[in-house]
Structure 1
Amino acid sequence: MSDVFKLQQERGKLYSDYYTNIIPDRMPIGVTFPTHLLAEYDGQNLFDYQFDYSRLAKPAKELCGKIYSDGCPVLPANFLLSRTPSMYQLYGSQSFVMGKGGFVQHPEVVGMEADEYPQLIEKPFDFLVETVIPRQHKNLDPQNPIKMATAIQMGKLALQNDEMSFLPTFLELIQTQGYYGGAPFGSFNFTEAPIDFIADQLRSFSGISMDIRRHKTQLQEAADAVMPLLFHWGMPANPHPEGNVFIPLHMPTFMREKDFSEIWMPSYKTMLQQFAACGVRPNMFCESDWSRYLDILLSEIPAGSQLAFEYGDPQTIKDKLGKKFMITGLFPCSSLKTDTPVEIVDRAKKFLDIMLPGGGYMFGFDKNPLTLKEVNLESLAALTEFVRDYATYDNAGEAFGTPLNSEGFVFDETIVPKPQSQYLFNWDEFKEKYPLTPDFAQTNFERFSKETFDFYMNLLI
């Protein structure tokens, strides 16, 4: 067994132990280099590489040699985390627009008017495809079907090209550096909370803020209507303890606690319970400060969920939530710029002395840095090496926390029925029209339909 392979096996066990509620030998440390940081490090401008991610191979290899991480710090491009501009530009998107500084931005846009809730509630997927998507992506207008078909095909090919361009470097780094290879293929996905979904791409922040006051009942009904879509969209093909469904949470910290409990939480809670019943771990990014909601999280969110916090008191969060949930985040990204290597190690020691005992915490920043000027690389190197050496456990092998779905939730398809739409495949109708089609073809056709469903939903996150 080579030293690199042995290191990879050791790292893999750290993660597999953690995600099966076993205290590992040490807490794994993983960092992520944003693509803009890589480009700046190599002296590139912030535009060109976003149309050819292979240009990041050289700086990626150099930084991986300088900064310790158990997981690969550089990831292949994807539309959600990278916001690849080619696809959005080909779709004529008004939702994601390249800014003058080289960052793809999400302006405040409206895809649904306040008087259109009945249409969303009656046929949610049809309404999204027919009305919302053409408004947000101007080249996907069914009134111009040839232009729409061409844009869809080109956008898909552009995204595929972007995703593949850095993949060889990513795989090479995993092999040469012995990085943890990540959760098994098909065990990760993403979705949104129902109210957040309606806010982000349909009604806008200001629009939904008014709807909470003026259209409360319709908003609740709409959240219930889109929830099954969001469940099936986020459902991983191959659930696994190391995988999860990532859910960025936007609206709650802008809401009154009463509205959060009565309007935002019910549909979200139902969705999470069904994920837990299927062995899928919710991975919630609690944006901004959730301190006033900690008790609600404790009572309403399924055990074994992973909660990533941006702000809050580490001791309070650990004491309140640490026994029921897996916790990550909270370490201030700003310290990468303000602290010397000595200072950041001192800060990390104090932080880990709070978060390490008893297990259940995975090191993470409150947010990722965006550019190189936000990071002193010497301080980052000192931090990750310190965490690697200091965050060890004397009681490795013992159980910690509460396993996923300890409550015993049971999957109920009547709660999250599969999406039905004239735009999605129906095997019975197809078989009636083409009776000579063998039954085994059903699996492939339904997979193609699911991928088509995902394509349209992906345009709305």
Structure 2
Amino acid sequence: MSVKELQQERNQLFSDLFNNIIPKRMPVSFALNPRIIAEYANLDLLEVQFDYSLLDSVADEAAQLIYSDTCPMMPASLASRIPGGYQAIDSQSFQMGSNGFMQHPEVVGMEESEYPDLIADPYACILEKVLPRQHKALGLDDPVRRSLSISAVQAENNRQLGNTIPIMKRLIDKYGYYQGAPAGSGGFTAAPYDFLSDQLRSFSGISKDIRRNRTQIMEACEALMPLMFQLGLPSNPSPEGAVGMPLHMPTFMREKDFVEVWLPSYLKIVQQYAARGIRTSPFLEDNWMRYVDILQELPAGTVMMFEYGDPKLVKEKLGDKFIIKGLYPLDLLKRGTKQQVIDKAKEICDIMLPGGGYIFSFDKGPLMLSDINLENYRALTEFLRDYAVYDNAGESYGRKLNSENYEIDPDFGKFESKYLTDWDAYKAKYPMTPDSMKEHLNNYDMASLRFYLNLLV
């Protein structure tokens, strides 16, 4: 089979999967993060984190380490926690630890007394209070430093993205990997409650607030909802694309609080995404089995990645409506024998594969070379390639995205802020401006919003 034919086959696997057609076989999708590749190739880890182009010299070797239908090298992205970018803004939210990892310590960006400010104008509160506290170079007392730092973080993030995208494109073309979802069809955001807890109030702060300021938290989640919606909103929705959403607070909450406080704003966001043909891909951190019945309320076609849980229960309760990922224990790659690794994979596949809608993945991504045994990893990926084959390829499965027929609310995602363009005031100041400029100004506002919110997720 030629490289072109292999790529066409791989593209078809993903196209079928995300259009509710049983594929020829389950697509195998794994990736090694830059740190693992650097460790394997004996590159300087610190140097690589500040210059991902150094991976180009070992990228072909890395591509041979495991089998994957997708490019096995990750791009520099938000999840990479690019250290040069955070250093440019003197971040306290994301700092490099003694082991060279970018870490997120518990930090407070909003005081308990500031809930009314957040509720009244969440965007202004974030710009004026939260960002200057979490990223010291963005303080309002030194506008020149703030301006230069914003330019620096943008330049550094763009440089690192530019360092990895050409490498990935070369590997995709050379080895015939899946070409990926259409440009602009993906995104990344957070549930309002999680955003509130993570960067604004902190884990310990929100844990106190849920008892003392329950009503204010609910109002804050409603206020943050349109911002979180805009943050992840794709410009070019496609069944193959998805909005990633790590969900990390619910398992630390009472079910009553989860249902009444956490869930409502999250459900509204994912339902409005679904109404627009946008798929979401939540990572259900920790063990969500006590919420498994509630998860049935999410839109059909949601890609649910589980960290821990009972595969049989997940399949029984959710397998006919959602695409399922996760549940394979990463630590088995390190501690298990090759046969144990394969046996566990077979056990999970035998439960999850029937009926379609399953993508094999670990319960969490490996962070360093010591997290895995590469021989086990290679054996696992090759086993999945050969074993996870369907005998009913071409049949339909599951329920299509937005089969619930959610209706688009044209006002959803809109919010007021003194930092959004007032078109009437703008038009009065620049009367020669054509009305067609109004949409462009709104797009500029939302691009700025995404830039600043991305510094806090």
The TM-score bracket by the shorter chain reads over 0.9
For the 8 Å contact 2:225–2:413, the answer to whether it is kept is no
1:90 equivalent in structure 2: 88
Q: For 1:422 and 1:122, how far apart are their aligned partners in 2?
A: 11
Identity %: 52
| 2:432 maps to 1:433 | no
Tell me which amino acid in the other structure corresponds to 1:455.
F
**Offset of 1:436 from its aligned partner?**
2.2
Per-residue CA distance 1:349-401 (angstroms, 9 max, x = gap): 12211111110111111111111112111111111111011101111111111
**Offset of 1:25 from its aligned partner?**
0.5
Tell me which amino acid in the other structure corresponds to 1:125.
Y
SS of equivalent to 2:180:
coil
1:264 equivalent in structure 2: 262
1:104 equivalent in structure 2: 102
For the 8 Å contact 1:308–1:327, the answer to whether it is kept is yes
2:39 equivalent in structure 1: 40
SS of equivalent to 2:306:
strand
Per-residue CA distance 1:139-161 (angstroms, 9 max, x = gap): 00122101100110111111111
Q: For 2:201 and 2:163, how far apart are their aligned partners in 1?
A: 35
Q: For 2:60 and 2:211, how far apart are their aligned partners in 1?
A: 52
Match of 2:189 among 178, 188, 191: 191
Match of 2:369 among 359, 367, 372: 372
Q: For 2:424 and 2:178, how far apart are their aligned partners in 1?
A: 44
Aligned residues: 457
2:22 equivalent in structure 1: 23
Q: For 1:45 and 1:332, how far apart are their aligned partners in 2?
A: 29
Match of 1:170 among 159, 168, 171: 168
Tell me which amino acid in the other structure corresponds to 2:191.
A
1:304 equivalent in structure 2: 301
SS of equivalent to 1:246:
strand
Q: For 2:209 and 2:269, how far apart are their aligned partners in 1?
A: 22
**Offset of 1:440 from its aligned partner?**
4.2
For the 8 Å contact 2:243–2:281, the answer to whether it is kept is yes
Q: For 1:316 and 1:292, how far apart are their aligned partners in 2?
A: 11
For structure 1, the residue ranges without an aligned partner over 5 or more in a row are none
**Offset of 1:324 from its aligned partner?**
1.2
- The residue correspondences of 1:116-265 to structure 2 (distance < 5 A) are 116-265=114-263
- The residue correspondences of 1:352-363 to structure 2 (distance < 5 A) are 352-363=349-360
Q: For 1:427 and 1:176, how far apart are their aligned partners in 2?
A: 49
Tell me which amino acid in the other structure corresponds to 1:333.
L
Per-residue CA distance 1:411-444 (angstroms, 9 max, x = gap): 1133x24233232334443233222234444444
1:67 equivalent in structure 2: 66
**Offset of 1:447 from its aligned partner?**
2.7
User: Bigger CA drift: 49-58 or 24-33?
Assistant: 49-58
**Offset of 1:271 from its aligned partner?**
1.1
2:347 equivalent in structure 1: 350
Match of 1:452 among 444, 448, 453: 448
Tell me which amino acid in the other structure corresponds to 1:7.
L
Q: For 1:230 and 1:66, how far apart are their aligned partners in 2?
A: 38
Per-residue CA distance 1:202-233 (angstroms, 9 max, x = gap): 00000000011000000001001110111111
Per-residue CA distance 1:208-259 (angstroms, 9 max, x = gap): 0001100000000100111011111111011100001110001001111111
SS of equivalent to 1:410:
coil
User: Bigger CA drift: 346-355 or 214-223?
Assistant: 346-355
Q: For 1:436 and 1:36, how far apart are their aligned partners in 2?
A: 53
Q: For 2:115 and 2:247, how far apart are their aligned partners in 1?
A: 22
Q: For 1:52 and 1:227, how far apart are their aligned partners in 2?
A: 36
2:323 equivalent in structure 1: 326
- The residue correspondences of 1:42-57 to structure 2 (distance < 5 A) are 42-57=41-56
Q: How large is the Cα RMSD of the aligned pairs?
A: 1.3
Q: For 1:215 and 1:66, how far apart are their aligned partners in 2?
A: 51
For the 8 Å contact 2:229–2:413, the answer to whether it is kept is no
SS of equivalent to 2:45:
coil
**Offset of 1:3 from its aligned partner?**
1.1
| 2:420 maps to 1:424 | yes
SS of equivalent to 2:243:
strand
1:386 equivalent in structure 2: 383
Q: For 2:109 and 2:125, how far apart are their aligned partners in 1?
A: 11
Per-residue CA distance 1:170-209 (angstroms, 9 max, x = gap): 1100000100011000000011001001000000000000
Q: For 1:272 and 1:221, how far apart are their aligned partners in 2?
A: 19
Q: For 1:418 and 1:120, how far apart are their aligned partners in 2?
A: 16
Stretches of 4+ moved more than 6 A in 1? none
Q: For 1:326 and 1:53, how far apart are their aligned partners in 2?
A: 32
TM-score w.r.t. the length of structure 2 is: 0.97
Q: For 2:443 and 2:226, how far apart are their aligned partners in 1?
A: 18
Per-residue CA distance 1:312-335 (angstroms, 9 max, x = gap): 011111111101111001111112
For the 8 Å contact 1:199–1:208, the answer to whether it is kept is yes
Q: For 2:354 and 2:108, how far apart are their aligned partners in 1?
A: 46
